[in-house]
């Protein structure tokens, strides 16, 4: 499984890349047919403290799962997005088993 990380208008430090990779690698245990993951990081131009936005696209055979989360930090947004993806992948796996 390949994780592509793209940052819009800033450079990502190694620590953040390692955190995102380790957190998203855990998704493999919920659904073993993940082809790849695309992550897009951006900061919103608002006065809110929660201006860090993370878009995660999980590519699985037949479909793509998309989650968009905004939080105070990229780590928190990634964590919330990964939790949502875990639930979606479990639901998808149960749906496939039903057939």
CATH code of the domain in which 27 resides: 3.30.160.100
Q: How far is CA 81 from CA 14, 39, 65, 96, in A?
A: 20, 10, 11, 22
pLDDT digits (tens, 9 = 90+) for 51-74: 899 999 999 988 899 999 999 999
Least Cα distance to 40 among 15, 7, 9 occurs for 7
pLDDT band at 48 (very low <50, low <70, confident <90, very high): confident
Residue 52 to residue 23: CA distance in whole angstroms: 17
pTM score, whole prediction: 0.89
Number of domains in the chain: 1
10-19 mean pLDDT: 92
């Amino acid at each position: 499984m390949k994780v592509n990380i793209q940052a819009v208008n800033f450079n990502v430090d190694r620590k953040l890349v390692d955190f995102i990779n380790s957190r998203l690698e855990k998704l493999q245990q919920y659904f073993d047919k993940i082809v790849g993951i695309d992550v897009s990081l951006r900061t919103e131009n608002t006065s809110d403290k929660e201006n860090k936005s993370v878009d995660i696209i999980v590519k699985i055979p037949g479909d793509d799962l998309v989650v968009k989360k905004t939080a105070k930090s990229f780590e928190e947004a990634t964590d919330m997005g990964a939790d949502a993806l875990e639930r979606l992948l479990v639901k998808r796996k149960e749906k496939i088993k039903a057939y």
